[in-house]
């Protein structure tokens, strides 16, 4: 069994060393399966150096993984929820035991600051597993309605396709409920950040998960993603990623009428009301725009402020932004590392240039690379004020550390601006608690925080409009992976 210790050893020191690790092939049926179509590079975005290589999957690799998952389904689905929860508990413990390895691997493959990798990238998935384990005994697996017995059963073979921004979190948020429900799984990680998938596969084996229940096929969306979407023996796809890719998956999957759960893009608005605690609202808002370099679907890249208080907000935002040190992601002091890859850096940089060209007032950062960081996929964290809510930087998902401050005349206009994009994933409202709650109820978004409300692993997460159609976490996330059978007696 391959262990990715080589990646861990190469993740120490300034910008990490350059010696690459050639990873093994796919993980199918409990064993390594060599690829037959070459390899894909995994590049360190802080340096541009090769970190590793993974197999470039094909439709035939998908066929083999699906066959393994289908063969494992009868016995795994016949186990009890309590048994499956016990396995997941061991998976969580196994991930926690390898925190440093996983954190340094994620930092190497997609550039998250190592402190963030240790907490949000590793601790968060462990908390998600714990939350689902706790549901095993309380979830209504069966239910009586009149003379009908409702039985909730696993769907079958579930495919998961995930992005690069939170490589472990995104798959654990699908794997935990899918396996607890009794499904088996085929997983395609992003080719940009695929290495933690192998660590997860190793941990599942050590936790006692039977061969074939969890399978990994590396590759691109154009090849492996397409094959998964069209596969007749896959019963469900759970996808997190861009709205564009989600549309394609839904269109291809429609041919086989499989269930598709989509968690897509976002353009969250943080509405700061006139009666808000301004320092708190702005500090939290900047954090929700810049964390993970803004590469978060649930970020709040729009800060909506009373027009008469915009100058106050700008001053506070600039002060807060100055605390976000950009640099080497292996440095504990770094708060913003590189973008996940060079093509994405170019995209984010293009939006910053677009904001300047469209006349938004630049108050922090701006075009060009940060000083002293001429190498690597770095951009300057940037803040614009006096932003037109109809402009590209206020409407389109930038997915980088770019905050747009938008003034509003009154509360109705604030709500209209917040709701005035194609997205509806997250949002925030700051103000007197009852007032803020009333405004939160008016937002067309799947999750809204009032005055920085604490994250709740049992509350559903998902979007309205083009932000998707599924829900993750808690009993709502578990229900996504279950069929309902009605038996009349």
DSSP string, 148-216: EEEEEEE-SEEEEE--SSSHHHHHHHHHHHHHHTT-EEEEE--SSS-HHHHHHHHHHHHTTPPTTSEEE
Which residue spans of the chain are classified as CATH 3.40.605.10? Answer: 5-264+468-488
Angle ∠(150,151,154) on CA atoms, nearest 5: 145
Assigned superfamily of 269-458: Aldehyde Dehydrogenase; Chain A, domain 2 (3.40.309.10)
What's the pLDDT score for residue 24? 65
What's the pLDDT score for residue 23? 54
Q: 433 vs 198, 303, 440, CA distance in Å?
A: 45, 18, 10
Cβ 189 vs Cβ 167: under 8 Å? yes
Confidence of residue 1 (pLDDT cuts 50, 70, 90): very low
* pLDDT tens by residue, 116-175: 999 999 999 999 999 999 999 999 999 999 999 999 999 999 999 999 999 999 999 999
Cβ 278 vs Cβ 313: under 8 Å? yes
Q: For 233-265, give one letter per residue: b (16+ CB within 10 A) or e.
A: ebbbbbbbbbbebbebbbebbeeeebbbbbbbb
Cβ 195 vs Cβ 7: under 8 Å? yes
Which residue spans of the chain are classified as CATH 3.40.309.10? Answer: 269-458
Confidence of residue 36 (pLDDT cuts 50, 70, 90): confident
Helix ranges (H only) for 328-473 are 342-357, 392-395, 411-418, 433-440
Number of H helices, E strands in the chain: 17, 20
Helix ranges (H only) for 15-98 are 59-77, 81-97
In the β-sheet with 142-145, what is the strand arrangement from edge to edge? Answer: 142-145, 148-154, 482-488
Find all residues with CB under 8 Å of 357, minimum gap 6, and list them.
none
Active-site residue list:
263, 297
Dihedral of CA atoms 101, 104, 107, 110 in degrees, nearest 10, equals -40
Beta bridge partners of 304: 271, 406
* pLDDT tens by residue, 375-395: 999 999 999 999 999 999 999
Q: What is the mean pLDDT of residues 271-276?
A: 98
Q: For 377-397, give one letter per residue: b (16+ CB within 10 A) or e.
A: bbbbbbbbbbbebebebbbbb
* CATH fold group of domain 5-264+468-488: Aldehyde Dehydrogenase; Chain A, domain 1 (3.40.605)
pLDDT averaged over the chain?
94
Proportion of the chain above pLDDT 70, given as a percent: 95
Proportion of the chain above pLDDT 90, given as a percent: 94
Please state the separation of Cα 132 from the chain's center in Å: 18
DSSP state of 369: P
Q: What is the mean pLDDT of residues 82-96?
A: 98
* pLDDT tens by residue, 299-343: 999 999 999 999 999 999 999 999 999 999 999 999 999 999 999
> How many CA atoms, within 13 angstroms, populate the side-chain half-sphere of residue 271?
32
């Amino acid at each position: 069994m391959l262990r990715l210790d080589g990646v861990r050893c190469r993740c120490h020191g300034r910008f990490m060393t350059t010696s690459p690790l050639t990873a093994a092939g796919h993980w199918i049926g409990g064993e390594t399966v060599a690829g037959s179509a070459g390899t894909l590079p995994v590049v360190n975005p802080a340096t541009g150096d090769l970190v590793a290589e993974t197999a470039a999957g094909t439709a035939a690799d998908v066929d083999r993984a699906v066959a393994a998952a289908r063969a494992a389904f009868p016995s795994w689905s016949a186990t009890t929820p309590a048994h499956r929860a016990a396995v997941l508990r061991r998976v969580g413990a196994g991930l926690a035991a390898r925190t440093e390895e996983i954190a340094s691997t994620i930092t190497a493959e997609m550039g998250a600051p190592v402190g963030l990798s240790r907490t949000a990238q590793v601790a968060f998935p462990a908390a998600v597993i714990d939350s689902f384990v706790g549901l095993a005994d309380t979830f209504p697996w069966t239910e009586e309605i009149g003379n009908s017995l409702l039985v909730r059963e696993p769907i079958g073979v579930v495919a998961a396709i995930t992005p690069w921004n939170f490589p472990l979190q995104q798959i654990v948020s699908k794997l935990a409920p899918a396996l607890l429900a009794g499904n088996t799984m085929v997983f395609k990680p992003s080719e940009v950040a695929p290495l933690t998938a192998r660590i997860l596969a190793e941990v599942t084996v050590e936790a006692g998960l039977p061969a074939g229940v969890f399978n990994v096929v590396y590759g691109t969306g154009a090849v492996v993603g397409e094959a998964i979407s069209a596969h007749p023996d896959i019963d469900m796809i759970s996808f997190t990623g861009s709205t564009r890719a989600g549309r394609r998956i839904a269109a291809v999957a429609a041919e086989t009428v499989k269930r598709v759960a989509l968690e897509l893009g976002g353009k969250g608005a943080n509405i700061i009301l006139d009666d808000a605690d301004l320092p708190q609202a702005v500090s939290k808002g900047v954090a929700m725009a810049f964390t993970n370099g803004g590469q978060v679907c649930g970020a709040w890249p729009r800060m909506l402020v009373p027009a008469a208080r915009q100058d106050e907000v700008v001053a506070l935002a600039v002060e807060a932004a100055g605390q976000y040190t950009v640099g080497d992601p292996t440095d504990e002091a770094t708060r913003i590392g590189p973008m996940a890859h060079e093509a994405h850096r170019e995209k984010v940089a293009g939006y910053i240039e677009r904001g300047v060209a469209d006349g938004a007032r630049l108050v922090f950062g701006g075009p060009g690379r940060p000083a002293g960081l001429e190498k690597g996929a770095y951009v300057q964290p940037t803040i614009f004020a006096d932003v037109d809510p109809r402009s590209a930087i206020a409407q389109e998902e930038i997915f980088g550390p770019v905050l747009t401050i938008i003034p509003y005349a009154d509360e109705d206009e604030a709500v209209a601006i917040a709701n005035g994009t194609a997205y509806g994933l997250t949002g925030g409202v700051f103000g007197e608690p009852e007032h803020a709650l009333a405004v939160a109820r008016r937002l067309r978004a799947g999750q809204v925080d009032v005055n920085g409300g604490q994250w709740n692993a049992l509350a559903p997460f998902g979007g309205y409009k083009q932000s998707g159609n599924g829900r993750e976490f808690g009993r709502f996330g578990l229900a996504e992976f279950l069929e309902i059978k009605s038996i009349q007696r």
